[in-house]
């Protein structure tokens, strides 16, 4: 999905519909869903996850959200948070969210995939795979600069558009089911 600017409602509904098809049938309740938003608010390019987590908490959806601006989930506490989730939830459905680097044409786009998220790969960090499904938002593109520079040179406008779009999609998936 293209999140450059405000995505059209039909694109949000289309992606939300595809996500509903992917999620396990009604044996999974909304309370079993964990949204794991990975990143740090110390770098604009890495703040996508914590921004989405904060926005989702403000929506008061019946989901467990880990990773906000106040309490980010990042490389240093990811394993602790995963153990915490494992203790609290029996068989959660985990949806991971993280920022990613891609090609120039991918910047501002969102990808939703079946399968685990592998956080930290752009910065060559060895972190555990997380989740059953995941969103990545392409915040910047690969350049000859050192990898850590990508996160510093990312536009907040792009990150905010991606965060708003991902939040809108997740809200569409889980808020609609309340009715």
pLDDT digits (tens, 9 = 90+) for 73-87: 998 999 999 999 999
Per-residue model confidence (pLDDT) at position 137: 95
Measured CA to CA, the distance from residue 174 to residue 179 in angstroms comes to 10
Domain regions of the chain by residue span? 9-20+28-178
CA dihedral 62, 63, 69, 71 (to 10 degrees): 110
SS (H, E, C) the chain: CECCCCCCHHHHHHHHHHHHHHCCCCCCCHHHEEEEEECCCCCHHHCHHHHHHHHHHHHCCCCEEECCCCCCECCCCHHHHHHHHHHHCCCCEEEEEEEEEECHHHCCEEEEEECCECCCHHHCCCCCCECCEEEEEEEEECCCCCHHHHHHCCCHHHHHHHHHHHHHHHHHHHHHHHC
Place of tokens 């999974």: 28
Q: What is the pLDDT of residue 57?
A: 96
| β partners of residue 165 | none
At 172 the pLDDT is 92
pLDDT by residue for the chain (179 residues), tens only, comes to 777 777 778 889 989 988 888 877 655 667 789 999 999 999 999 999 999 999 999 999 989 999 999 999 998 999 999 999 999 988 899 999 999 988 889 999 999 999 999 887 766 677 889 999 999 999 998 776 665 555 668 999 999 999 999 999 999 998 855 44
Confidence (pLDDT) at 179: 42
Q: Is the pTM of this model over 0.85?
A: yes
Name residue, tokens 């079993």. 32
CATH number belonging to domain 9-20+28-178 = 3.40.50.1450
């Amino acid at each position: 999905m293209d999140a450059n600017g405000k995505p059209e409602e039909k694109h949000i509904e289309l992606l939300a519909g595809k996500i509903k098809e992917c999620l396990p049938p009604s044996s999974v309740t909304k309370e079993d869903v964990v949204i794991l938003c990975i990143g740090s608010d110390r770098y604009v390019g890495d703040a996508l996850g914590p921004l989405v987590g904060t926005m989702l908490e403000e929506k008061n959806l019946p989901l467990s959200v880990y990773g906000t601006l106040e309490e980010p989930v990042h490389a240093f506490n990811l394993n602790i948070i995963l153990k915490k989730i494992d203790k609290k939830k029996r068989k959660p459905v985990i949806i991971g969210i993280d920022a990613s680097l891609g090609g120039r044409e991918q910047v501002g786009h969102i990808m939703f995939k079946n399968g685990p998220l592998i956080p930290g790969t752009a910065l060559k960090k060895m972190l555990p795979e997380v989740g059953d499904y995941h969103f990545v938002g392409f915040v910047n593109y690969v350049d000859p600069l050192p990898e850590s520079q990508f996160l510093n040179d990312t536009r907040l406008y792009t990150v905010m558009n991606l965060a708003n779009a991902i939040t809108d999609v997740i809200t569409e998936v889980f808020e609609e089911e309340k009715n």
